[in-house]
Amino acid sequence: MKIDPGSLTGKEAYRLMISLIVPRPIAWITSVNQAGVVNAAPYSFFNGVSSKPPIISICAGLGKYGKKHSVQNIESTGEFVVNLVSEKLAEEMNRTATEYPEGISEVEEVGLELASSSTVDVPRLKDSPASLECVLEQIVEIGDPPTSLILGEVKAYHLNDDILWDREQGVDLSALGLIGRLGGNQYLKLHDTFEMQRIPYTPHTPADNSV
């Protein structure tokens, strides 16, 4: 089956992409508006771009009220925090996905606990297993209607005390207990993993067929 992207409506194109590009990590973004209201909203078009400097990317389309509050806040302050989502926070994360009117804090509505950040003025979510304090690198508007591609530089990482980190092996994924986004309303628990070692290239030596 061949699908022409030009033949799809906006909703059809979105549903196809989120069904094929799976699983996706979830960036639960905290940001602050000019009045000091803390916003919390999840975005699953999220990934890493580079490691040195550490740059992450997040894409946010238009919402019911136009440009989403997270994007407006990031444009205004140049700061935000990406909080990762564990299984135990799934329900709270889902509740913050609702588009609240301007001036309403999802943090207060859902009852989330905040913690101070060390390098930005935006608080992080205390119960998140890991948080990334970020400053805005740039925002690129793509498409029609526009999607905001946000590039941010990570200025500090916060890991819960029970999360083990090894400089050679990285972070203990089992302790993180993260969930990922699939298509529609489906999510994934990070349990069934497997490991494969990369195999180095070995030049092929032709067989000697001389007599």
Contact 155, 168 (CB under 8 A): no
* CATH code for position 53: 2.30.110.10
Q: Is residue 155 part of a domain?
A: yes
Give the max Cα distance, the chain: 86
Residue 41 lies in a domain: yes
C-alpha distances in Å from residue 189, one per residue of 85, 110, 167, 177 = 11, 22, 25, 7
Q: Is residue 6 part of a domain?
A: no
Query: Would you say residue 209 lies in a domain?
Result: no
CA distances, 93 to each of 96, 170, 171, 198 (Å): 5, 25, 22, 35
Work out how many domains the chain is built from and give that number.
1
Backbone angles phi, psi at 191, to 5 degrees: -120, -50
Beta bridge partners of residue 114, listed in sequence order: 125
Which residue segment(s) compose the domain that 180 sits in?
21-189
Q: pLDDT (tens digit, 0 to 9) for every residue of the chain, 211 residues total?
A: 989 998 998 888 888 988 898 899 999 999 999 999 999 999 999 999 999 999 999 999 888 778 999 999 999 999 999 999 999 999 999 999 998 888 899 999 999 999 999 999 999 999 999 999 999 999 999 988 899 999 999 999 999 888 877 788 888 788 889 999 998 899 999 888 888 898 998 887 766 666 5
Query: Does residue 194 sit within a domain?
Result: no
Compute the chain's Rg from CA coordinates.
20
